[in-house]
């Protein structure tokens, strides 16, 4: 399998014009949702994201998959892990305006 990946992953050799690489260690995935929601709020009606184009509602319900691990339990698609919810709450507490987290469900233990 690793030979397949090494021999077929040709995108690793492609560098699009104006491409700016990032340091993956500098990305905080625990704060990425908070960052996206902050950007959405700052852009307001100028935002062109799918979320904005869908009237600030999730499109998760439109996602269809035949993945066996999701077939019986779609909750990984519709719930935020507890750590993410905590980060969202902390972010909304520190901000003067609230973010839309009311539709987020808490992950069940």
Query: Which residues lie below 8 Å from residue 31, measured CB to CB, with a gap of 6+?
Result: 87, 91
**DSSP 8-state code for residue 107:** P
pTM of the complete model beyond 0.75: no
The predicted pLDDT at position 95 comes to 58
Instruction: Report residue 80: phi and psi, to 5°.
Output: -95, 140
Residue 79: DSSP 8-state: E
pLDDT (tens digit, 9 = 90+) per residue, 72-104? 888 888 787 887 778 777 776 765 444 444 444
pLDDT at 106 over 70: no
More confident residue, 61 or 48: 48
What are 98's two structure tokens? 């609230």
- Quick one: average pLDDT of 42-55? 90
Show the CA angle centred on residue 52, arms to residues 77 and 32, nearest 5°: 55
Please give the torsion angle defined by the CA atoms of residues 58, 24, 6 and 17, in that order, rounded to the nearest 10 degrees.
80
pLDDT for 33 beyond 50: yes
> What is the structure's pLDDT at 1?
57
């Amino acid at each position: 399998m690793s030979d397949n990946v090494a021999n077929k992953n040709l995108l690793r050799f492609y560098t699009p014009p104006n491409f700016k690489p990032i340091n993956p260690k500098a990305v905080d995935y625990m704060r990425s949702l908070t960052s996206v929601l902050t950007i959405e709020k700052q852009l307001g009606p100028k935002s062109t994201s799918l979320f904005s184009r869908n009237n600030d509602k999730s499109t998760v319900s439109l996602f269809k998959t035949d993945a066996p691990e999701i077939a019986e339990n779609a909750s990984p698609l519709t719930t935020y892990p507890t750590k993410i919810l905590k980060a969202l709450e902390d972010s909304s507490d520190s901000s003067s305006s609230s973010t839309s987290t009311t539709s987020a469900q808490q992950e069940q233990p």
